[in-house]
Structure 1
Amino acid sequence: MQTLPKEVEQLFHYLQNGTSAFHVIAHTKQVLTEAGFTELHIKDNWTLTKGGRYFCSPFDTTLYAFTIGESCDLSNGIHIAGAHTDFPAIKIKPNPEIFSHGYMQLNTEVYGGPILNTFFDRPLSLAGKVVTKGDRYDRPVSHLVDLKRPAVYLPNLAIHMNRAINENGAPIDNQKHLLPILGTLNEYLNKDTTFMDLLAKEIGVDAKDILDYDLCMYNLDQPELVGFTEEFISAPRLDDITSVCALIHGLVESKNADRVNLVCLFDNEEIGSLSKQGADSTLPSVIIGKIWQAFGKNQIDCMSDISDGLMLSVDVAHAYHPNYPGTQDITNYPIMNGGFILKTASNQSYTWDCESMASLIALCQQENIPYQRFAKHSNTKGGGTIGSIISSHLPMRTADIGVGLLAMHSSREMMGKDDQISLTHFAKAFFEN
C-alpha cells in the first residue's frame, strides 16, 4: 500500500475507532483534547475567552466544537458546519435471547436504511454503550463497549435452497432473517445464558447491575485503498464519518481571528433527526446562545449577529455509477476523485440558495480546491440531509456539500481518496476565510 496522505490517514483512524455513534464522539473528544480544546459542560455557566478553543458534548452521541477569534466581537457572525455521527445499522433489542434447534441467536431491529444483504456472510462485531447501576437511581454509569472481534454471524441461505436468488434476489424478512447466530448451545452458551451475562463478562461487572444497553452490529472490515492504482477507499461507515473527520480536523487546523467557528455533530440523521440529540432540536440554538451570553449579549443580539453567517450541512453524496448510468442527472453527475460535491435540490431536500452556493464556489476558486455539482435525476426522490432541518431553526444562509460515494448504506462503501483531501482542505478554508 502507498503512503497515506495525512487527510486519508486521519479518516482511517476515525473509521477504525468509530464503530458506533458513541465511539465516533469518543474519538472526536480525543482529537480535540490533543489539539488543546477545553471541554465545557452544558449545565455550567461558560466563561469564555477570545482566542479560546472549546467543545461540549451534551449527550454521548453529539458534540459541539468551536473556536473564538482573538479579535472577535461577535458582530462578525459565525461559520457553522454540521455532520452526523450515526449510520444505518442492525441493533440489538431488549431481551434478545433466542434458543432454536441448538443455536443461540439474538433478536434485532433495523436502524435507518441499510442495504441489508451486505451484512450477510461476513464477520460482525458489536459496539455501543452499556449502562449499569450507580450510587443512586438517577446516576447510572455508562460503559463504552466494542467487542472488536467476530462475535455474531448472519449466514445466507444456500443457492441449492433458493435456486432463483441470482434472478429474483432474496427478500429479507426483518423479524426472521436478521437474527444473528452467537454459537451452538454448550456449557458456556445454554438456555440459562442471558445476553446480560455475556455483556457483564466483557465489561467486568455483575450481570444484575446492567440496566440497559444501546448496541449495534458492525462490519469488522478495515478501511483499505482499492483500485489498480489505489485511488479509491473502501470501508464501512464512510457515511458520514468522512464529514465528521473533515470538519473536526479542518477546525483544529484553521486559524481565524475575527469570527466564531462552530462544528455541530448530530445523532439520528438516519431516522429523521427528530430527537434531543438530532439536528431537529433546540440544542444548536442553546449552544450558540451560551457562547453569546458569555460575552454579555442576549438572544436577540445572537440571532441578529448570526444572520449574516454561513452554514454547511456536510453529508455524503451520490457519485456516478458506471453500471447504472440511468440513475443520475443528465448534466450533473459527479465522479469519484473529481472533488467534493456541492448539492442542490429545488425542493430543499438539499438546502441551498444562490448566494450561499456562490460563496462556496468563490472560495473553492480562490483556494484552488476541486469541486463538483450534483442534482437529482428528475424522476428520483432521493434522500435528504440535516441542512433544511437545522436552517429552519437558525436564520442563516445554508448549503449542502459532501464527498461522493458508491454503495451508499452498504455495510462497506466506496469513495475517491482525493475527494476526502479536497473536503478537508475546503473545511479548513471555510473556517479560515
Structure 2
Amino acid sequence: MDYLEISQELVDFIQNSPSMFHSCETISLVLEAAGFSYLNEGDAWQLEKGGKYYTTRNGSSLIAFTVGQNLSDYHFQLTASHSDSPSFKIKSVPILEGPGEYIRLNVEAYGGMIDASWFDRPLGIAGRVLVREDGKVVSKLLHIEDDVLIIPNVAIHMNRKINDGFSFNRQVDLCPLFSTGELKSEDFDRMIAEYLGIQVEDILSSDLFVVNHQAPSIWGFAKEFVSTPKLDDLQCAYAALKAFVSSENDETINVYACFDNEEVGSNTKQGAMSTFLYDSLQRINSALGYTSEDYYRAVAKSFLVSCDNGHAVHPNHGEMADDGNRSYMNKGIVLKEAANQKYTTDAFSRAVFKEICHKAQVPYQYFANRSNMAGGSTLGNLSNIQVSLHALDIGLPQLAMHSAYETCGSKDTLYAVEALTQFYNSTIKVNSAFDFSIN
C-alpha cells in the first residue's frame, strides 16, 4: 500500500478515536471485521488453536491475540501501545459561573500537555456516560462533534508579558468557555442528554474530556507531513493493529495490547502496570491446556515490542537532541534506549529488532536523550513489572509531542506497519539472552 494511503487511514483512525474509550471501540471494530471473537473477562474462556480473540478492560484497554495451529515451541510475540493522549478532563461538577453571565467548564489536566497549544481552538467533548437504561446501568460513548467550547487567550493589550514566557494557571486560564449567557448551568447535562438521545434524569456519571476539533492534514508541497491531534500514541496503536490483523504465524501466539492511562503513569487497573496483561496471558495458557511450568517457559522465550512515539529533531532547536542518537521524520523507525532503563532496549533486543527491520527492508534510527535532560517513560518497562519479557522500545519520530496538534512524517507509519508485520510473521526463537534465531 502507498504511504499516503496509509497516512489517510491513520488520520481516519484518529478521528474515530477522540477519547480512550473511542480508541478501544475503534480497535474492536477493526478486530471484529477481521474475524476476532470477543471474550468477556467475567466469562470462562474457551480457546482453540487457529482462533482469533480479544478482550477489554474498563472499555479503554484492549488485548487481542491469535493462536497458532502448531505450538510446538509455544511462546508469545507482543506489541504494546496506548489508547490515551493528554487532554483536559471535565470534573464531576463541571460548571463555573461568571463573571457576569458567562458559563465556563471546570477542568483538570490529564497528562502533561502543552497548555498554550489549547488556546483559541474549536473544541468538542468526548468520553463515556453511565446512564440508566431498561432497569440497568449502561455505558454510552459520547462524541460531541460540533464545536461547543473554546479556551480564549487574554488579549496582548491586557497581558503584555504573554510572549515573555508567561506561566498559565490551569485553574484560572484553561477553563473552556461554554456560553455568554444564552445557556444556564443545567444546560450542560441537557446538551449531553440531547446528543445521546436520553433523558437528563437518566445520567448517572461520566468520564468526559475536551477534544481538539482541528481537522488533520497531510501537507507540504511534497506531502511530507501529517499533522493531527493524538499522534502520541495513536500512530503506533494504528500501525501495530494494521500489522497484527494482516499477519499469520502458526508457531506463536501473537498478541496486540493497547493500554489506557500511559499519560498519567499506567498504575491503574487497566494500565500497563496492572495485571491486565499477566491475567490475559495466564488465561490463554490455561484455556489451551498448558501448565504453569509451560507458561513460565513460554514467557522466557517471548518478545515484546513497546510502541510509543519518539522525538524528531526540532528544526529550530537541533541543540536539544543528542549529538549522535537523534531521529528525523521520514527516516524510519526509532529504536529508543536509556541507561536509566526507562526504555527496555538492550543489546539483545536491539539485535533482534534490527534483524526484523533488515528482513522487512525498513530503515531505522537511534534515539537517546541528551545526558543532561530527563526523558519520559513508556509502556515496556512498566508492563515488565507484571510480565518480565525480552523487550525493546520503538517509536515513530514526531514534532510537538503532547501538543493539541502534533506533526509526523508521512512515510513513517508505513515503515512501522511493514516492520511490525515482519515481526508478527516471523518466529523468534529465543534460547537465552545470548542466542536467538528468526525464521
Residue 146 of structure 2 corresponds to which residue in structure 1? 149
Hey, what's the Cα distance between the residues in 2 that align with 1:270 and 1:31?
Answer: 24
Aligned amino acid, residue 118 of structure 2: F
Q: Give, in angstroms, the shift of residue 392 of structure 1.
A: 2.3
Structure 1 Cα separation of the partners of residues 397 and 95 of structure 2: 39
Paired residues of 2:260 and 2:266 also in contact (CA < 8 A): yes
In 1, Cα distance between equivalents of 2:80 and 2:138: 29
Structure 1 residues 298 and 135: alpha-carbon distance in aligned structure 2, compared to 1, 3 A threshold: farther
- Measure the CA separation in 2 of the matches of 1:299 and 1:267: 28
Runs (4+) of structure 1 exceeding 3 A deviation are: 3-6
Task: Work out the CA distance in 1 between the residues paired with 2:34 and 2:166.
Answer: 48
Per-residue CA deviation, residues 2-25 of structure 1 (Å, 9 max, x unaligned), is x86342232122111010001111
Which ranges in structure 1 are unaligned for 5 or more consecutive residues?
A: none
Cα distance per residue 1:334-355 (max 9 Å; x no partner): 1100001010001111112211
**1:323 equivalent in structure 2:** 316
Matched, 1:425 2:418: yes
Equivalent pair of 1:21/1:128 in contact (CA under 8 Å): yes
CA drift at 1:417? 0.9
User: 1:360 Cα deviation (Å)?
Assistant: 0.3
Match of 1:299 among 292, 296, 299: 292
Residue 175 (str. 1) matches residue 168 (str. 2):
no
Show CA shifts across 1:166-217 (max 9, x none). Answer: 2x1332111111111111213xx125x2522221122122212111111111
Aligned to 1:32: 31
Deviations 1:212-253 (A, max 9, x none): 111111110222112221111111000000111011110101
CA contact (8 A) 2:3 2:414 kept: no
- CA distance in 1 between counterparts of 2:184 and 2:352 reads 62
Q: Deviations over 1:409-431 (max 9, x none)?
A: 00000001111110111111110
Which secondary structure does the structure 2 equivalent of 1:171 belong to? Answer: coil
What code does the residue aligned with 1:170 have?
F
1:282 is matched with 275
Give the SS at the match of 1:57.
strand
CA RMSD of aligned residues (A): 1.3
What CA distance in whole angstroms lies between the structure 2 residues aligned with 1:134 and 1:164?
52
2:81 aligns with: 83
Match of 1:392 in 2: 385
Match of 2:184 in 1: 190
Structure 2 match to 1:162? 159
Which of these residues, 363, 379, 382, is aligned with residue 375 of structure 2?
382
What secondary structure, in the 3-state scheme, does the structure 2 residue paired with 1:265 have?
strand
Per the TM alignment, residue 149 of structure 1 is displaced from its structure 2 partner at its CA by: 1.2
- The C-alpha deviation readout for 1:31-58, integer Å capped at 9, x for no partner, is 1111111111112222211111111112
Q: Quick one: structure 1 residues 418 and 4, their matched pair in 2 at CA, closer, same or farther if it must change by over 3 Å?
A: closer
- Counterpart AA for 1:5: L
What is the match of residue 55 of structure 2? 56
How high is the TM-score relative to the length of structure 1? Answer: 0.95
The corresponding residue for 2:434 is none
1:308 aligns with 2:301: yes
Gaps of at least 5 residues in structure 2 are: 427-439
* 2:132 match: 133
Matching residue's letter, 2:385: S
Partner residue of 2:66? Answer: 67
Report the secondary structure of 2:327's partner residue.
Answer: coil
Matched residue SS, 1:387: helix
Q: TM-score, normalised by structure 2?
A: 0.94
Aligned length: 424
In structure 2, the CA distance between the partners of 1:92 and 1:363, relative to structure 1 (3 Å rule), is same
Stretch moving more, 258-267 or 195-204? 195-204
Note if contact 1:105-1:180 (Cα within 8 Å) is conserved in structure 2: yes
Task: State whether residues 104 and 181 of structure 1, in contact with CA within 8 Å, keep that contact through their aligned partners in structure 2.
Answer: yes
Instruction: Write the letter of the residue equivalent to 2:144.
Output: L
1:226 aligns with 2:225: no
